[in-house]
Structure 1
Amino acid sequence: MPEALWIVFAFALGLLVKGIGLPPLVGYLGAGFVLSGLAASTGLTIEATDALDHIAHLGVLLLLFTVGLKLKLRSVVSPEVIGGSLLHFGITCLVFTPGLYLLMDLAWGTALLLAIALSFSSTVLAAKVLESKRELRAFHGRVAIGILIMQDLIALGVMSLATGQTPSQWALVVFGLPLLRPLLFRLLDASGHDELLVLLGLLLALVLGGYGFETIGLSSELGALVFGAMLANHPRSQELAKSLWSVKEVFLVGFFLQIGIEGLPDHQAMLFALVAALVLPLKGALFFFLLLAFRLRSRSAFLSSLALTNYSEFGLIVASIALPEWLVPLAISVSLSFVISAPLNRLAHALYERVGQPLARFETRKRHPDEQPLSLGNTRILIMGMGRTGTAAYDWLIRQETNIMGLDSDPAKAQEHQRQGRNVVFADAEDASFWSGLHMPSVEAVILALGDIEGKLIAARTLRKKGFRGYIVAHTMFADEATQIRAAGANDAYLTMNETGVALASHVLNHSPEAQPATAPER
């Protein structure tokens, strides 16, 4: 039974590569090649079936739907995102196309499509790396994700052109889809948090978006992206994306298995992938200098560029439609880029500490508005991290103390707090340049309400190194993290759930026996 072999090999090789710190999808691709080699050596019939083809297509549609859920105008409408992505795409195509034409004796059209496929960076890898480090909402993380979304839109346009589909007269209905947004919002609100939420995502991505657009002569990939984008501004859009994450990943296993099963890489494919890996640093360097040109500091440009220094699964999707004969060489190129990029991104901050000083010489004199030095003025209490915990602390303290400031690494969140009347500004606690430009003459206490342990440790250590002698307090979910935070310089670190229990108990002790419920239950 081929399905059983697919699952066994995909799991075994996915687990193996995950154990050495690489994305599991490298293992899935390898599993396909192993199965193809097994078939060639034993005479067994192991080939991609219609079921695997269908699963692979569903994985692509779900990937595009989740990309659409992140497609907020504020994440892409900025000079560094639009300008950086378009310039990088244009320069890459201008350089790679004649190079491929001359070196590999290809037709101009084939060389151009290969250059386009190699210009994209991996949404899956970058999102996973940034999410694992909790940097998706940091400034460099937002820049990287914005550029990836722009690249995904370009890839979608290329795929639509490559299919050559002629829309039917019913395609005009697409222009009326925004009228459905209130209904979709109500459906999302009514779907709850469990299996109905997942089913709603599948309905919109695969049925209405995929099959619906295909029926009227449009790209099913475009349909999945459009329906995702229609929900992007809903407060629960990211909850929907997370609920579909595992389903999407399982279906994408079929996509990578399918590539490997279709044939083993030959000498030419391996040579192509090796050359593509050798020019990968040029791709990252181009991103770096383009982002510097848009007034980013060297640190932000370096971290964003490193997240984008890889080749994309979208390149494979484009190739599967426009260049099927180049699918295996491109798949090897993508895998090699993941092998190079994944460990480098895990060491990104340590790498910048080594190379940051010479790279800083390339910075422009003008700074990006999101990266200006910060002065705290007469602030007495500083809250770092304005999520639920930080906001609750701010709202309680503001009743007794007016000189309070909150910091958060998500500019959109900081702006929302400002609209609600809170004194909150954008700042990234894990950015060494932020600390070097920070002036805090009146601060007496700091509350560390950051989401990740690394940010709390960096903040506590750096505050003490700057000579801060005031009170530092943090919260955490785990006892071992509390020990680390205190060792880093904090006066106290409280366990969140323990403090919640204490607060509940205090309500019981303060409860007046005479107090009655607002509405007494009938007997």
Structure 2
Amino acid sequence: MPEAIWITFAFVLGLLVKTVGLPPLVGYLAAGFALSGMSVMTGIEVEETSVLQHIAHLGVLLLLFTVGLKLKLRSIVSPEVIGGSLLHFSITCLVFAPGLYWLLDLDWTTALMLAIALSFSSTVLAAKVLESKRELRAFHGRVAIGILIMQDLIALVVMSIAAGKSPSEWALLVFGLPLLRPLLFKLLDASGHDELLILLGLLLALVVGGLGFEAVGLSSELGALIFGAMLANHPRSQELAKSLWSVKEIFLVGFFLQIGIGGLPDQQALMFALVAALVLPLKGILFYFLLLLFRLRARSSFLTSLSLTNYSEFGLIVASVALPQWLVPLAITVALSFVFSAPLNRFAHGIYERIAHRISRFESHTRHPDEQPISLGDTRILVMGMGRTGTATYDWLLSHEPRLMGLDSDPAKAETHQKEGRNVVFADAEDTTFWEGLHMPDLESVVLAMNDIEGKLIAARMLRKLGFTGYIVAHTLYADEAEKIREAGADDAYLTMSETGVALASHLMENTELQPAQVRNPV
């Protein structure tokens, strides 16, 4: 059973790269190439099976479905997303196509299709990296995903033209999908919290979205993404995303293995991939200046651009339709870009802090509406992170202290809180520029209720760096993270589950008038 050997290679190399601080997906890629190399050295044939192909495809569909669950479509329809993606695509094709035509002595059609394939960025890699850092809903994460969705739509159009096929007349039914949203919401409510919830996610992502869209001549990836986005406004959408997390992760291993098992390249393919990797920074630089053109700040432009500085698996799909002879060189190119891009994105915030003084001078003095500086005014207590924990904290404190403010890195969530009457504004705790423009003259206490440990550490450090001497408290699931938060400057960091137990016990004492047990005298 070859799949058992592949799982072993993936685990060993994934664990190995994780120990040196790289994302496990780099190890999965290495495992695929190691298997190909073993095949060459031993003569034992190693090639992808139909099982691996299905697993890889299911992993991509589930990833895009969970990305859709975290998206607000209204945030995608913005000038920086539409304009940035279309301008980048056009400029890349205008520059790359002539270069490939002259350097590789290709015909114009082949050169143009190669340029198109290289213009796309990886939805799988960017979404996975942003998700692992919990930045999908941050401003730069939403811009990056929006641009990737636009690129995927462009890729679908290109593939349809290259294949000489067009969607069937039944594809028009897609425009009626919003009418199904009430039914989908009822199904989600009726599914409970156990295995039916997971099965519903699989049904919508793989069957209705994936197979259904393929049946009418559309992309299964697009179908999975759309059905996820249709559920994004449901209160239980994040519960569904979490329930699918482990299944999605397992299947995605197959996707990265598939890239490497495709085969070892020849010298010409390696040279093509190496040259493409050398010009990869130009792709990110172009994104950076285009986003600055749409009034994004240097930090948001940099983080968005870095997440898009790679080549796309969609380029391979385009090549499979229009350029089958270029599949191997493009596969190596995509894999090599993953190896470079994944670790860089892991340290994106640190990299920006080091070069911010050099690149921030290019940003516009007119701010984007989502990126205005903040003043806390007469706020005495600040709650950073307005998820379930932050919201419960805010509501309890409000009865004791009216001068209260909440911050959240998701503009849509901040807007929802504002409609419900809470004093909540958009702000990203990991944004160094936010801290530079922060005014907090009367602030006395801060609650760190963000989901990710990195945001809590940055917030604690920056508050102390700015001279804040008040009380900082945070919550976390793990004892080692609590220690790190205290070392960063917080006064206290409580373990979430332990505090939940304390709260339940206190409710029990209050509502049952439970008296301390009487100690009996020994006989």
TM-score normalized by the length of structure 1: 0.89
Listed one character per residue, the Cα deviations across residues 41-93 of structure 1 (whole Å, up to 9, x for unaligned) are 54444444444444444444444444544553223112212211211111111
Residue 152 (structure 1) aligns with: 152
Give, as a single letter, the amino acid of the residue that structure 2 aligns with 1:85: S
Residue 519 (structure 1) aligns with: none
Residue 450 (structure 2) aligns with: 450
Residue 433 (structure 1) aligns with: 433
1:231 aligns with 2:231: yes
Q: Label 1:429 to 1:512 Cα distance change in 2 as closer, same or farther (>3 A).
A: same
Listed one character per residue, the Cα deviations across residues 291-348 of structure 1 (whole Å, up to 9, x for unaligned) are 1111111122112211211112222222233322212111211121122222222222
Residue 271 (structure 1) aligns with: 271
Q: The residue matched to 2:188 in structure 1 has which SS?
A: helix
Residue 110 (structure 2) aligns with: 110
1:463 aligns with 2:500: no
Q: Label 1:282 to 1:456 Cα distance change in 2 as closer, same or farther (>3 A).
A: same
Bigger shift: residues 123-132 or 13-22: 13-22
Residue 351 (structure 1) aligns with: 351
**Deviation of the 1:252 alpha carbon:** 4.4
Listed one character per residue, the Cα deviations across residues 334-371 of structure 1 (whole Å, up to 9, x for unaligned) are 12112222222222222222211121211111111222
Q: Label 1:476 to 1:45 Cα distance change in 2 as closer, same or farther (>3 A).
A: closer
Q: The residue matched to 2:511 in structure 1 has which SS?
A: coil
Listed one character per residue, the Cα deviations across residues 168-205 of structure 1 (whole Å, up to 9, x for unaligned) are 45444444433333222222222233332332233233
Give, as a single letter, the amino acid of the residue that structure 1 aligns with 2:338: F
Give, as a single letter, the amino acid of the residue that structure 2 aligns with 1:145: I
- Tell me the distance in 2 between the aligned counterparts of 1:492 and 1:56: 44
Q: Label 1:58 to 1:160 Cα distance change in 2 as closer, same or farther (>3 A).
A: farther
Residue 302 (structure 1) aligns with: 302
Residue 130 (structure 1) aligns with: 130
Q: The residue matched to 2:494 in structure 1 has which SS?
A: strand
Q: Label 1:163 to 1:28 Cα distance change in 2 as closer, same or farther (>3 A).
A: farther
1:485 aligns with 2:485: yes
- Tell me the distance in 1 between the aligned counterparts of 2:236 and 2:22: 31
Matches within 5 A, 1:289-438: 289-438=289-438
Residue 507 (structure 2) aligns with: 507
Listed one character per residue, the Cα deviations across residues 15-65 of structure 1 (whole Å, up to 9, x for unaligned) are 444444444444444444444444445444444444444444444444444
1:77 aligns with 2:77: yes
- Tell me the distance in 1 between the aligned counterparts of 2:494 and 2:251: 42
Matches within 5 A, 1:244-283: 244-283=244-283
Q: Label 1:423 to 1:229 Cα distance change in 2 as closer, same or farther (>3 A).
A: closer
- Tell me the distance in 1 between the aligned counterparts of 2:270 and 2:484: 46
Residue 517 (structure 2) aligns with: none
Give, as a single letter, the amino acid of the residue that structure 1 aligns with 2:497: M
Q: Label 1:9 to 1:443 Cα distance change in 2 as closer, same or farther (>3 A).
A: closer
- Tell me the distance in 2 between the aligned counterparts of 1:55 and 1:204: 17
Q: Label 1:225 to 1:323 Cα distance change in 2 as closer, same or farther (>3 A).
A: farther
- Tell me the distance in 1 between the aligned counterparts of 2:221 and 2:146: 19
Q: Label 1:11 to 1:109 Cα distance change in 2 as closer, same or farther (>3 A).
A: farther
**Deviation of the 1:470 alpha carbon:** 2.7
CA contact (8 A) 1:260 1:328 kept: no
- Tell me the distance in 2 between the aligned counterparts of 1:196 and 1:375: 46
- Tell me the distance in 1 between the aligned counterparts of 2:24 and 2:490: 38
CA contact (8 A) 1:67 1:149 kept: no
CA contact (8 A) 2:67 2:127 kept: no
Bigger shift: residues 386-395 or 97-106: 386-395
TM-score normalized by the length of structure 2: 0.89
- Tell me the distance in 2 between the aligned counterparts of 1:415 and 1:161: 41
Residue 210 (structure 1) aligns with: 210
Q: The residue matched to 1:469 in structure 2 has which SS?
A: coil
Bigger shift: residues 376-385 or 451-460: 451-460
Listed one character per residue, the Cα deviations across residues 484-520 of structure 1 (whole Å, up to 9, x for unaligned) are 4334333333333333333223223323659xxxxxx
Give, as a single letter, the amino acid of the residue that structure 2 aligns with 1:123: T
**Deviation of the 1:481 alpha carbon:** 3.6
- Tell me the distance in 2 between the aligned counterparts of 1:467 and 1:57: 51
Give, as a single letter, the amino acid of the residue that structure 2 aligns with 1:452: D
**Deviation of the 1:222 alpha carbon:** 4.4
Q: The residue matched to 1:386 in structure 2 has which SS?
A: coil
Bigger shift: residues 231-240 or 365-374: 231-240
CA contact (8 A) 1:445 1:472 kept: yes
Gaps spanning 5+ residues in structure 1: where?
A: 515-523
Kindly, what percent of the aligned residue pairs are identical? Answer: 79
Bigger shift: residues 480-489 or 263-272: 480-489
Residue 496 (structure 1) aligns with: 496
Residue 190 (structure 2) aligns with: 190
Give, as a single letter, the amino acid of the residue that structure 2 aligns with 1:312: S
**Deviation of the 1:433 alpha carbon:** 1.7
CA contact (8 A) 1:310 1:337 kept: yes
Q: The residue matched to 1:439 in structure 2 has which SS?
A: coil
CA-atom RMSD in angstroms: 2.8
Residue 476 (structure 2) aligns with: 476
Give, as a single letter, the amino acid of the residue that structure 2 aligns with 1:323: L
